[in-house]
Amino acid sequence: MTYRALELLNLPEDEPAFLLDIGCGSGLSGEILDEQGHHWVGVDVAPSMLEVALEREVEGDLFLQDIGQGFGFRAGSFDGAISISVIQWLLNAETSHPTSSPPHRLTRFFTTLHSALRNPSRAVLQFYPTSDDQIQLITSIAQKAGFGGGVVVDYPNSKKARKVFLCLFVGSGGAQQVPKGLEGEEEAGSGKAMFEARRERSGVKRSDKKRKSIKGKEWILKKKELYRKRGKESVPNDSKFTGRKRKAVF
């Protein structure tokens, strides 16, 4: 779903972007963003999930954040945003207080997300609605916050494979057409979906697009600096030997 969200973001080819991963969890989507050569910031409401992400030493910067309270990022900070299986939780009212109502939480979420994205850009949010009314509520509030776009449904005829994406445009992107969903057919009696091969840009296979793992001096220094900022102990000091290639010993 993260690969599909990136496809719907329609980012420029071969140009790294600065992305917001909403509900980043343990950093699984972040690893794919790294693989594709992008930089990212992740937010999540669960400290335990962020702790796992830190233990897994993900590349992105992480923030503990209830997205229903909105974001505090500087305006125009991000080139795009993705979210996998998260925004349906904004439909749950935690208390009877008006600020905890789904419309209020959705309004705070979409208003501050719109501000945090540059103009033009996109946000692609995969979610699991339980009714058309929920889809209508979410899309109407996103529209009031200034977004264009709409809903993309992949494999609409499959109960298991059906996925709903909210594809939102900021600025001049609002004049763009909403992408078409992927189509598929179910095998009779099998309950399994037969999927079309995912489109690959410029004829390049996904495996060929993976970023090369070059762990030279620059990469090592960047990683060590990241660990120091996070307060990790026992980070080795830099020296003239940092990143130096060692001769093979036979």
Tell me, yes or no, whether 203 and 221 share the same domain.
no
Tell me, yes or no, whether 61 and 174 share the same domain.
yes
Task: State mean pLDDT over 92-105.
Answer: 78
Tell me, yes or no, whether 205 and 219 share the same domain.
no
CA 119 to chain CA centroid, nearest Å? 18
Q: pTM score, two decimals?
A: 0.75
What's the CATH code of the domain at 31?
A: 3.40.50.150
Tell me, yes or no, whether 241 and 172 share the same domain.
no
- Per the structure, how many domains does the chain have? 2
Q: Which of 75-84, 87-96, 233-242 has the highest mean pLDDT?
A: 75-84
Q: Which domain holds residue 202?
A: 2-210
**pLDDT for residue 200 is more than 80:** no
pLDDT, tens digit (0-9, with 9 covering 90-100), for 118-131: 999 999 999 999 99
Tell me, yes or no, whether 144 and 205 share the same domain.
yes
pLDDT, tens digit (0-9, with 9 covering 90-100), for 158-172: 999 999 999 999 997
pLDDT, tens digit (0-9, with 9 covering 90-100), for 14-70: 899 999 999 999 999 999 999 999 999 999 999 999 999 999 999 999 999 999 999
Tell me, yes or no, whether 173 and 224 share the same domain.
no
Per-residue b or e along 199-215, where b marks 16 or more CB atoms closer than 10 Å to that residue's CB: eeeeeeeeeeeeeeeee
- Please name every residue paired with 153 in a beta bridge, in sequence order, or none if there are none: 164
